[in-house]
Amino acid sequence: MAPGNYGRWRDGKSQTGETREALCSEIKGAMQQHGIHHRENANIRTQISELERSFDAARNWLKENRYDRFTFKRVTEEEQAGNNDDGREEELGVGKKDDDDDDDEGVVVGGAQGPAEAHVLRMCRYYHTLNEVFGQDEGTGVRHRRANAQRNGNHSVSTRKRKGTPAGADSEHKMGQPKDAVADGEQQRRQVDSASMPEATTATAVATALNDLENCTTPSTAIPAAAMAETWVHPAALESTQRMVAEAVREEREQKRFCMEEERHQLECDRLRYEIEAAKLQLTIDRALARKRLFDAGLPGAQVNELFPK
């Protein structure tokens, strides 16, 4: 991939980003300029998805077994915590080290491989190459920022509520209010919402149900319910989820079609090879029959060999 193409690929599923089809068309045009004309957009999408899947599997295996993603050495909990602190300091712009203080230990591609590196290369054949492209988003890159944005966007309201009020204050306040006052307040709020924003009727109904649920449940169960409501009442979140599901289904369908095309091409090659072998065998049989007819006709062997050499 050219520099920046992977960031465009990662943003292809967003609502405002560039579509992956446009990126695949651009890659296909670059391949055609280099003489590669048999690749289609579906093949390019499948290949990139497979590379991304194998790289993510290898990276997850390294994390689960506490291996460093560059040196393939075991990382203790203290070292991992120190690396996380260093990463946060680098994000804030403090605590940066000079180039001569960097660790000289690294992985030499093509050198002696340890068991961890060998296992990673079996999972992802091009790990070292992909780590320079896909791995640059780790920690402070596109993946990390997108994950934080999703978490903050889905739970920002509940987080502000938890920070602004002490634990249990909201439930105690509701328990201290009369039921009639709570019902009147809810009714007034529903009337105002329905008059100003008609499209928020579903959100108001869900919020009312959550208030009833909070009155009969503990505060520990009320927070996940509120988080779930915030996730589902936003049309943008629902549309994004549906788009991701449709994208995954389309990628799976294109991958199956690519596999079927590869199998069909292989069968076509086998059929042509068998036809060539059958034609050669038929030519040998015809030549032998012609020699026999000439011998039966009384021609000398030298003349027959001259006409139909063995």
In a domain, 242, yes or no: no
- Chunked mean pLDDT (size 10), the chain, 310 residues: 68 63 83 84 85 90 89 75 54 43 43 80 87 65 43 45 45 47 55 47 50 50 49 67 87 91 92 94 92 89 84
pLDDT of residue 139: 47
Residues 179, 117 share a domain = no
Structure tokens at 231: 């996730």
Confirm whether pTM is higher than 0.85.
Answer: no
Burial 62-81 (b: 16+ CB within 10 A, else e): beeeebbbeebeebeeeeee
* pLDDT score recorded for residue 265: 92
pLDDT of residue 210: 53
Of 110, 138, 166, the domain-final residue? 138
Check whether residue 222 and residue 113 sit in a common domain. no
Q: Do 125 and 48 share a structural domain?
A: yes
88, 109, 138: which is the final residue of a domain? 138
226 in Cβ contact with 249 (< 8 Å): no
> 134 with 150, same domain?
no
Domain ends where: 138, 156, 176?
A: 138
User: What is the structure's pLDDT at 112?
Assistant: 56
Enclosing domain of residue 300: 254-307
Q: Is residue 56 part of a domain?
A: yes
